Structure 1
Amino acid sequence: MENNQFKHAMRGAWVLSLGALIAKILSAVYRVPFQNLVGDTGFYVYQQVYPLYGIGMTFALSGFPVFVSKLVAEAPDFEAKAAVTHRARVIMTWLGVGMFAALELGAGLIAKLMADPGLTPLIQSVGLMFLTMPLLSTARGYFQGTFDMTKTAVSQVVEQVIRVAVILLAAWFAVQGGWDVYKMGTWAMSGAFFGGLGALLVVWPAYHRVFRKRRFAFSGFDQYAQLMTRFVREGGAITLFAAMLILLQLVDSFTVTRGLVASGVTPAAAKALKGVYDRGQPLVQLGLVVATSFSASLLPALTRAVAQDRRTAFRRTARQLVHFNFGLSLAAAAGLIALMPAVNRLLFGSTAETPALRMYALSIVLVALINADNAILQSLNHLRVTAYALAAGFLVKLISTEWFTFRHGTLGAAFSTVLSLTVIFVVLHFALPSVLRGFDPRAFNLRLCFVVGVMSVVVHVVATHMPFATRGDALILLVVTITLGVLLFVVLASWVKLYTVREVLTIPFGRRFMKAWRKLTQHH
């Protein structure tokens, strides 16, 4: 019976992970055609306000639903599950209405702090999405808490499809109708609200069937106060960590343009430069999708090992998680850095600010390692240290960005992001159990540096001998070098035994790869 429940939970986790993966890919990929349609200044206008949407999306997608699902799973019976869901919805409603009011009434002030009053209508447009957040996050949390992951996964994909469609339609109409960039941005940001409505249509029928005939008496201020405290402590920690990169981007929205203008750049040129700098965000998102794709398969095993107090299994799984995240993220970042001029030309039409984008690409490695360390600490229920780490990194970013931007332009802004992520990683790393920070007898890091180093040098040398004057040339270069890089990484990693047999077998198609590699080596 217990085994069947575990299998059901694992199937649900895979469905939810697949939905989240599709949503992340959509969220990253659409920005390329969008930037090509609206240009660097149009992209700047959108990206300045995007972090406000990103925070709301994190609340509704991966932050509060996870916390509500925990509350529901803890409840002993159906009545208790329904009651705690109702109380969570009341709290989320007050939060959503409060954030909506803050953005509607404070949009002018926020836009001035971003050094661009023209952003006011965009900020007000983002505020609308917070009206859909309370019911959407509560419903998702309830279904996840009852192990029905399909509705959440489908709603995630529907939300992103509708939002991306609205954004690209707004960009197309703006080009055809000659709209100014702020009108275009306002309509593009409305995609968040329409996407939220679409997601509500997915979860509402089933949610309404459960709660339509139920009436809940007021449970007293004490219970709401206790629940609110847990929302802040536990739900807040989960949500803020899920929004880590978005919070750092929010600091950029308030500081980078100001720093560029203070350094002597004209306001118009500063907006265009900020738009070019923002090209790094979708590249980092795509790199993280690649880098962390295998790690999702290890998280259930990590949680189960802790629950069953199997220390050896926990250490082994935790080390595997770090190895996969570090190995794949370092390979993705190194490849992106080596090929950044061609990537920049192919996707965005120019090679502008390539050094800054190369610096920004280092974020892939740091965020992947931070996510691995955070997963380990959360499985051990060490939530407080993650909040301290995030606060320290955010403070460093807040203090350093404008100064570094003033001194070194967008390269300085990218460096401040890398610096703040380094601070977060160091705090989390030293909070890990000592057995995971100790000496690695297999010298994984040394083997990894050899593999990635050889791969990077070969790819860079080949790329320098393939000039690219057009996007077509850049596409040919990238197809050749990426294929070469992937093959080199796989062959070299297999040759130096970078991953153990047990680690390879945990990834999808790992067993087939082992059989093929064994046949190949035996043949030679």
Structure 2
Amino acid sequence: MQTKNATKTLLKGALILSLASLIAKILSAFYRVPFENIVGNTGFYVYQQVYPLYGIGMTFALSGFPVFISKLIAEQEGQLAKVNLARRLFVILSFFAGGIFIFLQLTSRLIANSMGDGQLELLIKSVSFMFLFMPLLAVGRGYYQGTFNMVPTAISQVSEQLVRVAVILLAAYLFTKRGWTYYEMGAWAMAGATIGALCASLSFSKFYLGSFLSQPFATSKLSMQTLIRRLLSEGLIICLFASLMVLLQLVDSFTVKQALEVKGFSSELAKEIKGTYDRSQPLVQLGIVVAVSFSSTLLPSLTEALQKRHLNEFRKTAKALLRISVGLGAAATVGLIALMPEINTVLFGDASLSKTISIYVVSVFMMTLISNYNSLLQSLNQYQMTVIALLAAIVVKALINSYLIERLGIAGASIATVLALIVAQALIAGSLPSLLKGLLSGDNYLLKLGLVTGIMGGVAAVVAKVGTFLLPGGRLALLLVALISVGIGVLVFIGLALWLRLFSIREWLAIPGGKKLLRLTNKFTNRKGLS
């Protein structure tokens, strides 16, 4: 009975954390739409050039180090051992974060010049302050997750994003009222990361002002040298993989503007084009969230099967997780591409670079594959190939980005990102253990998925074109057309997926609302059979 209650508490905690993470990610993606509308493409360029530095720091403090720390904390026996380990990790991370802060402060001008825009120095210095809060956030979140209390972490995630988004939008508003330069506005917007981190840290005040300070010091089984080695190997690997898309964006920050200038564009026009190209970021971020979040309901079952060494059950659950995520990832990708001109205009005011953004959106499908295979490999404690794949993706992007932009224009940056992710996925797929091979190959799954998403995308695109013709007008009319097209596209996808049996009953039951859909389908089928 006690074990059942513990499992129930664990699952409830995992659900709370997943929901908070989903809300935080949606907030992190959605604010960029009104922000871009207020500050324009050039203002968006200024912000997005330095955003990857924030993105890396956020990953360290939000989903990288906390996951690794929680694993270490959970392994410790007794409250005293857990607290003492948390103290040691706090000291190590304080040196690590302090080093990053000093590095960014001292090299901000060099980094800005390397990005092709010396005025970005102010933003780089501004965002560097958030790293000072990384130890507080990472250890606080890791400690509570390691003791299976997910509520403080959930509160910190949502509060951090709410405060940060509020500061960013306030900076954008004041930019229009006070005549700030783009770079002054960007510096204040980046300060939102530090203010958000400060507010999120308050969620852990009970721990830091309580047992963290009051518990007696004791020796630990893990030496400082061992902790440093594991933190900078296993922990850093988790962090870097979680920030793969951000690292690819960082390559863009150092190469896109300069490559556009080599192609013949003026500095100001290059900024405008880069800002327009960066519209793809929130779309991809939301697409990945939608694709991956629904499959997270299966992760506890995956862990349980592995702990009990039920390898057949592990494979079945892994197959369900992968098929659901890939199916939703493909649907999100095709849907975004089919409706890109309309979505681009509704969100950002015009359809500029819709083809370039459409190419970039293929990243949703690729990242869905990569993220899920990475989760499965991590559950088996296999990290080596994911590290190689990550490094290969960054190297490929860095090597071909400027070349493709100089020859194909800004579309080359989108192509370089997709090719980098294809290389990463190919390396991962080629090294999978036998337990994870062939998860997508049975039941003509990929053929059915191609057919379902192809028809869905075609129908949605036609509905959008007809709707645009029948309802000519501004962004409001186009929003209505887009919503109708999305609704019809979703219905077509669900209908064809049920008809072609794209997902098994087990997989439908794992999707929120899937049980109701199956009941509804059974009722309809039974009535049709009777008539």
**TM-score, normalisation: structure 1:** 0.98
Q: How does 1:48-447 map to 2 (within 5 A)?
A: 48-216=49-217, 223-438=223-438, 440-447=441-448
Stretches of structure 1 lacking an aligned partner (at least 5 in a row): none
Q: CA deviation at 1:83?
A: 1.4
Contact 2:66–2:142 (Cα < 8 Å) also in 1: yes
The verdict on how the C-alpha distance between 1:270 and 1:469 changes in structure 2, with shifts beyond 3 A counting, is farther
Task: State whether residues 299 and 375 of structure 1, in contact with CA within 8 Å, keep that contact through their aligned partners in structure 2.
Answer: no
1:504 corresponds to: 508
Equivalent residue for 1:522, pick from 507, 512, 526:
526
Report if the CA contact (8 A) 2:35-2:172 is conserved: yes
CA distance in 1, matches of 2:75, 2:118: 47
State the AA in 1 paired with 2:112.
A
1:521 deviation in Å?
1.8
Higher mean C-alpha displacement, 169-178 vs 299-308:
299-308
AA in 1 matched with 2:14: A
TM-superposition CA deviations, 1:337-396 (whole Å, max 9, x none): 011000110000111111110000100000011111011101111012111110111111
> Aligned partners of 2:319 and 2:487: how far apart in 1?
28
Shift of 1:174: 0.4
Secondary structure (helix, strand or coil) at the match of 2:467 reads coil
Residue 484, structure 1, aligned to residue 488, structure 2: yes
Matched AA of 2:481:
L
SS in 2 for 1:206: helix
SS at structure 1 position matched to 2:442: coil
> Structure 2 vs 1, CA of residues 204 and 271 (structure 1 numbering), >3 Å: closer, same or farther?
same
SS at match of 1:352: coil
**Structure 1 residue 435: deviation in Å?**
4.9
- Residue 218 of structure 1: CA displacement? 8.1
> Does the 8 A contact of 1:430 with 1:437 survive in 2?
no
Q: After the TM superposition, which residues 449-468 of structure 1 pair with which residues of structure 2 at under 5 Å, given as runs?
A: 449-467=450-468
SS at match of 1:212: helix
SS at match of 1:497: coil
Report the Cα distance in structure 2 between the residues aligned to 1:370 and 1:71, rounded to whole angstroms. Answer: 25
| Separation of aligned partners in 2, 1:302 and 1:416 | 34
Structure 2 residue matching 1:465: 3-state secondary structure: helix
Partners of 1:94 and 1:224 lie apart in 2 by 13
- Following superposition, the deviation at residue 247 of structure 1 comes to 0.6
Relative to 1, partners in 2 of residues 1:435 and 1:446: Cα closer, same or farther, differing over 3 Å?
A: farther
Residue 4 of structure 2 is aligned to residue 3 of structure 1: yes
Contact preservation (8 Å) 2:467, 2:481: yes
Q: What CA distance in whole angstroms lies between the structure 2 residues aligned with 1:380 and 1:264?
A: 50
| AA partner of residue 328 (structure 1) | L
Paired with 2:167 and 2:520, the residues of 1 have a C-alpha distance of 45
Amino acid at match of 1:2: T
Question: For 1:183 and 1:117, how far apart are their aligned partners in 2?
Answer: 13
Give distance in 2, aligned partners of 1:356 and 1:491: 31
Cα RMSD between the aligned structures? 1.4
Q: Deviations over 1:32-74 (max 9, x none)?
A: 0000000000000000000000111011100111111111011
- Deviation, 1:307, is 1.2
Give the letter aligned to residue 200 of structure 2.
A
Counterpart CA distance in 2 for 1:140 and 1:472 is 42
Shift of 1:219: 7.1
The residue type equivalent to 2:199 in the other structure is G
Q: Secondary structure at the match of 2:139?
A: helix
Deviation (angstroms), 1:294: 1.1
Q: CA deviation at 1:207?
A: 3.3
Aligned residue for 2:237, secondary structure, equals helix
Distance 1:474 1:382 in 2: 47
Separation in structure 2 between the aligned mates of residue 15 and residue 368 of structure 1, nearest angstrom:
22
Aligned letter for 2:228?
M
Find the aligned partners of 1:448 and 1:249 in 2 and give their Cα distance.
29
State TM-score, norm by structure 2.
Answer: 0.96
Task: Give 1:21's aligned amino acid.
Answer: L
* Conservation of the 8 A alpha-carbon contact between 2:54 and 2:193: yes
In 1, are the aligned partners of 2:81 and 2:218 still within 8 Å (CA)?
no
Shift of 1:215: 4.4
Distance, in Å, in 1 between the alignment partners of 2:350 and 2:393 is: 32
Aligned 8 A contact 2:93 2:135 in 1: yes
TM-superposed deviation, 1:412: 0.3
> In the TM superposition, what is the alpha-carbon distance from 1:201 to its structure 2 partner?
1.1
Q: CA deviation at 1:433?
A: 2.6
Moved more, 190-199 or 391-400: 391-400
User: In structure 1, how many angstroms separate the alpha carbons of the residues matched to 2:272 and 2:112?
Assistant: 17
Indicate if the aligned counterparts of 1:340 and 1:354 stay in contact, CA closer than 8 A.
Answer: yes
Residues 131-163 of structure 1: per-residue CA shift (max 9 Å, x gap): 111111111110100001000000000000000
Which ranges in structure 2 are unaligned for 5 or more consecutive residues? none
How far the C-alpha of 1:214 sits from its partner, in A, is: 2.7
Question: Over residues 497-520 of structure 1, what are the superposed CA-to-partner deviations in whole Å (9 max), with x where a residue is unaligned?
Answer: 111111111222322221111111
The residue identity in structure 2 corresponding to 1:500 is S
Look up the SS of the partner of 1:148 in the other structure.
coil
Report the number of matched residues: 523
Q: Which amino acid aligns with 1:97?
A: G
How far does the alpha carbon of each residue in 1:87-113 deviate from its partner, in whole angstroms, 9 at most, with x for none?
A: 100000001111111111110000000
Contact 1:43 1:275 in 2 (8 A): yes
CA distance in 2, matches of 1:13, 1:480: 34
8 Å contact kept, 2:84–2:220: no
Q: Assess if the C-alpha contact under 8 Å between 2:276 and 2:353 holds in 1.
A: yes
